[in-house]
Amino acid sequence: MAIPFNAAASAYASAAKLINNSATGISGPADPATDGQDFAKLLGQAVQGVVDSGRVSDAATTNMLNGKGDMVDVVTALSQTELALDTMVSVRDRVISAYEEIMRMPI
């Protein structure tokens, strides 16, 4: 079963805005057009952070192989990259789970 990403992102963003509005006392309908774009932008920034973390890890490994770096720096960079990737996978799983739960709701 293919899940359209835009629909999941829009549903998640609308739910997040409703939660934020109820916490701050603001009422009113959510605008899925702008919320979906904000969520997509946030998601893009998170993915870019994972990519940047991978680049730092690659640079640390290259420096160590060239004799300019330390093994501790490589292990630390790899651990940070692994943590960032695990976090991204966890967020992806939560978004998909939330979308599937929304799709099961009766109309």
pLDDT tens column, 43-77:
888 888 889 999 999 999 999 999 898 899 899 99
Q: Which pTM does this prediction carry?
A: 0.58
pLDDT > 90? residue 97: yes
Res. 18: pLDDT tops 80 = no
Residues 9 and 44: beta-carbon distance below 8 Å:
no
Residue appearing with tokens 């629909």:
7
Q: How many other CB atoms are there within 10 angstroms of residue 17's CB atom?
A: 20
- Could you give the CA distance from residue 104 to residue 107 in angstroms, rounded to a whole number? 9
Instruction: Report pLDDT for 100.
Output: 94
Q: What is the residue-averaged pLDDT of the chain?
A: 79
